[in-house]
Amino acid sequence: MVNSGISQHLVVIGGGMVAQRLVEALRARDDAGRYHVTVFAEEPRAPYDRVGLTRWFEEGPEGIALGDQALWADPHVTLHTDRKIDSIDREAKTVTDRLGHVHAYDELVLATGSSAAMPPIPGNDLPGVFVYRTIDDVAALRGWVEEKRRSYPEGKPVRGAVIGGGLLGLEAAGALTALDAQATVIEFGTHLMGVQVDLGGGQALKRLINGKGIGVRAETATSQLKPHRRTGHVGRLDFADGGRLDVDVVVVATGVRPRDELARAAGLPVGERGGAVVDLSCRTEDPHVWAVGEVACIEGRCIGLVAPGNTMAEVVVDRLLGGLAEFPGADTATKLKLSGVDVASFGDAHARTEDAVEVVWADPVAGVYKKLVLSDDARTLLGGVFVGDAGPYASLRPMLGAELPGDDPSAFLLPEGGGAPNLELPDEANVCSCNNVSAGAIRGAVTQHQCTDVPGVKACTRAGTTCGACLPLVKKLVDTELERAGIEVSTALCEHFDLSRAQLFDAVRVADLHSFSDIVARFGTGTGSRGCDICKPVAASILASLGNGHILSGEQSTLQDTNDHMLANLQKDGTYSVVPRMPGGEVTPEGLITVGQVAKDFGLYTKITGGQRIDMFGARVEQLPDIWRRLVDAGFESGHAYGKSLRTVKSCVGSTWCRYGVQDSVGMAVELELRYRGLRSPHKLKMGVSGCARECAEARGKDVGVIATDKGWNVYVGGNGGQTPRHAKLLAEDLTSEELLRTIDRFLMYYVRTADRLQRTAPWIEEVDGGLDGVREVVMEDSLGICADLDAAMARHVENYEDEWKAVLEDPEKLRRFSSFVNAPKGADPSLAYVEERGQRRPATSEERATGVVIAGPRLEVRA
């Protein structure tokens, strides 16, 4: 451990979200390196987004990764995972970990959080009773549900119950549903989410929750949990009113209890209901011991929300660095993160302020309930409850304590804003409560730090980087500020077109244009302009997507990037690589022999690609047609590895061979690849098909991922590998093969038409209207009324497909392009040089060229 004479040692006990925030804030502010910080986490992993725990089911560990993982590689930071601290010695200023190692500290922060509370109901220790707090809890719950399902005859459901109808209970119920288990929520109080939501909201919420297939039993006390007679696992809930419920699994979510045992043992004062007592600087009685997050008892209570915990972390960092920050009071605004159920509340949701006025708008049929709590003059906003439509939450919450503009506050509750005045947030209004970012800070990011878009502002201020609920508001603030600063958010392609790619696509489609000359004459910026290396490939892609024949026909050929122009992939030495299509990764032994023989005859380096096919490297321009002829004669065609177009559809072997497969993934992959081959798009497109939930094809790393279920296919969209890996997100479930094709047809066409230049599906989904939900509405419910058009466009694509290689081979005019030199068409580029490595050749490095160890020039072929 680094603990030089100058730097002080800060020890943080606990590895949760607030601990992470503390380390982040310290590293961001402690430029002089005054502190080395060591974090001891009890869980065997770095801090993760506990608030998003339910996402773990859908997206796995990376779905709930928190912040920049580079933080833990910082030389001023040490993270010990799986290292519980057993005791604190305040005299000696040391802590002792579970291995018995003693660590000295100068300053100590308790960030031990809470544990799930287990009410003293008889039977609460039966197998099959879980809590919902950590990744391990969630993993154990999943394992249990899956095990139960396996032990049951097909079709018999796994029955679950959640004791506790608060925020956490509803998330746990959502998790059970995600695991395909039945769920019933048992609530002791009068209604769900009783802390945050009033009775009216609770009733609307119950309808929404019922709509998700989750049962609700309110005003019910559980008297005992009974074991199943045969298995001894939990089998039944008995209620105080005499009712019973048969269950296979129970999640207890009745609350949390601060983990204050270390504080108690160290003799620090604890609150009436637990928690290490701290003052507004988050300091305990001991000047060198601090407490933050759920374990801190501040203003007489512990707060089980992440945002106030983050604020405490910022306060402690400020204090450690000599500042005088104080905890400003808790922002207890909450938003339920259960898919399809919008619930949010903030401020005085129960209208407990004296003479408070409540304005309510309710639509019981749709399960919508919205309420504003206002001061007695009906002007100052004191709180709000939103169920079924949390739309107004993001913009109203920061107005807490401020006067609402306009005469009629109810206008804010009407659907679509109902003509409510535009909210001009005060600079001090807190927009992102997770990261404590004010409206002023977001405006400053634009006006002082030259951010010109939401991703820039996110990176600069960290607004919206935790739960993301405030992003719509952030976008609005950024847009307004840019407009005000006179910065036009330019979506212009280049100096030749003021339009964005999406606008140009529509323009070309509607104006029915078929050549670049017409496009640039009609929509270009200047007369006589002939475009450039930016707009030409965009126009080429648009023309190809709209079906204008071979990409090398006529003037279109002048628009193509060299890869498309040569129908092969340019490599660093100026030669190309050739990839024949192997749909779904399937290839016959004869096919393999042909590929091998071609590679051998032309001296090409061969490598298996990530997309389950074979790449042959080192082909010179003048060799390409000869190589294609051999491949085409053997039944191969272009694999479009060179295009901004569909690349491959990767598949696992599926139910035809695999013991576990539930559908024919190879068959589906072949069908998809043959359907979408050659489809030109804003960027490359990759797809995958897995034959069962084991997901061997890694389909969720693709733009479109298809995973077999025993009822059909699930389709995921927006995945990619590369520098910013993304897991694809669920678009639709249990589709038939026919529905699957129609869904993907529409998704792809919608993307092709509206995405920006070189924008892959993941960022497109983030930016397109309504995000993933918006895409789902467009492709599944035809909310824009364009599906017939999208379907027709895809049908045209499928009908008009031709192999681009074969078409060149059949056209002498196109073949003429494939000559190395205009004055020596079959001459080889004399600059090429190769060395042998592991039995194949590769381009010589400049050192090898200089020292002359080069073994061969361009004419290496072994061909007779």
Partner 1 sequence: MTANDVSEVQATGVTWGSDGSAVARWERACFLTDLFPERGAAALFGNVQVALFRLPEDPLDPADGGPVYAVQNLDPFSGAYVMSRGIVGTRAGVPTVAAPVYKQVFSLVTGECLVAADKAPQGDLPPDLRTYEVEIRDGVIHVGLP
Which is closer to partner 1, CB of 124 or CB of 517? 517
Q: Decide if residue 452 touches partner 1 (CB under 8 A).
A: no
**Near partner 1 by CB under 8 A: residue from 150, 229, 572, 659:** 572
Which residue is it, tokens 């045969």?
A: 230
Size of site (CB under 8 A) for partner 1: 37
Cβ 516 to partner 1 shortest distance, Å: 9
Contact window for partner 1 (CB under 8 A) among 147-155, 181-189, 431-439, 531-539: 531-539
Site string for partner 1, 824-863 (x = CB under 8 A): x--x-xxx--------------x-----------------
Under rule CB under 8 A, residue 664 binds partner 1? no
Q: How far is the CB of 445 from partner 1 (least distance, A)?
A: 24
Find the shortest distance in angstroms from Cβ 762 to partner 1.
23
Shortest reach from residue 527's CB to partner 1, in Å? 10
| Residues in contact with 219: Cβ distance below 8 Å, sequence separation at least 6, in sequence order | 187, 188, 189, 190
**Minimum Å distance from CB 269 to partner 1?**
58
Residue 816 CB, nearest approach to partner 1 (Å): 8
Distance of alpha carbon 7 from alpha carbon 285, whole angstroms: 24
Angle (CA) 477 479 481, round 5°: 65
| Shortest CB 535 distance to partner 1, Å | 8
The residues in 493-512 that bind partner 1, with binding defined as CB under 8 A, are 495-496
Alpha-carbon span 300 to 323, nearest angstrom: 24
Stretch that binds partner 1, among 424-432, 625-633, 660-668, 816-824 (CB under 8 A): 816-824
Closest CA relative to residue 179, chosen from 693, 780, 719, 655: 693
- To the nearest whole angstrom, how small is the minimum distance from the Cβ of residue 792 to partner 1? 32
Residues with Cβ within 8 Å of 272's Cβ and at least 6 positions away in sequence, in order, are: 300
- Note whether 4 binds partner 1 by CB under 8 A: no
Site track 509-528 with partner 1 (rule: CB under 8 A), x = hit: -------------------x
DSSP state for residue 781 in the 8-state scheme: H
**Residue among 295 and 832 whose Cβ is closer to partner 1:** 832
CB under 8 Å to 252, separation ≥6 — which residues? 116, 118, 119, 124, 129, 130, 131, 132, 162, 163, 164
- Looking at the Cβ atoms of 382 and 535, the one nearer to partner 1 is 535
Smallest gap from residue 426 Cβ to partner 1 (A): 41
CB neighbours (10 Å) of residue 139? Answer: 12
Nearest one of 11, 74, 76 to 41, comparing CA atoms: 11
Looking only at residues 537 through 566 of this chain, which bind partner 1 when binding is defined by CB under 8 A? 537, 555, 557-562, 565-566
822 binds partner 1 (CB under 8 A): yes
Work out whether 536 is an interface residue with partner 1 (CB under 8 A).
yes
DSSP secondary structure, 416-467, as one string: GGGGPPPP---TT-EEETTTTEEHHHHHHHHHTT---SHHHHHHHH-TTSSS
DSSP secondary-structure letter at 558?
G
Say whether residue 533 binds partner 1 (CB under 8 A).
yes
**Look-up: residue for tokens 């209004």?**
429
Q: Find the binder of partner 1 among 65, 411, 570, 786 (CB under 8 A).
A: 570
Binding of partner 1 at residue 820 (CB under 8 A)?
yes
Yes or no: say if 100 and 201 are a contact pair by the CB < 8 Å rule.
no
Closest CA to 114 of 263, 12, 260, 11: 260
Q: Is 126 exposed, middle or buried (0-12, 13-18, 19+ CB in 10 A)?
A: middle
Q: Which residue lies nearer to partner 1 by CB, 570 or 634?
A: 570
Residue with tokens 């903030």: 346
CB of 835 to partner 1, least distance (A): 16
Closer to partner 1 by CB, 565 or 647: give it: 565
421 binds partner 1 per the rule CB under 8 A: no
Q: Are 503 and 425 in contact (CB under 8 A)?
A: no
Rounded to 5 degrees, what angle do the CA atoms 584, 585, 588 make?
A: 115
Binding site for partner 1 (CB under 8 A): 495-496, 528-537, 555, 557-562, 565-566, 570, 572-574, 817, 819-824, 827, 829-831, 846
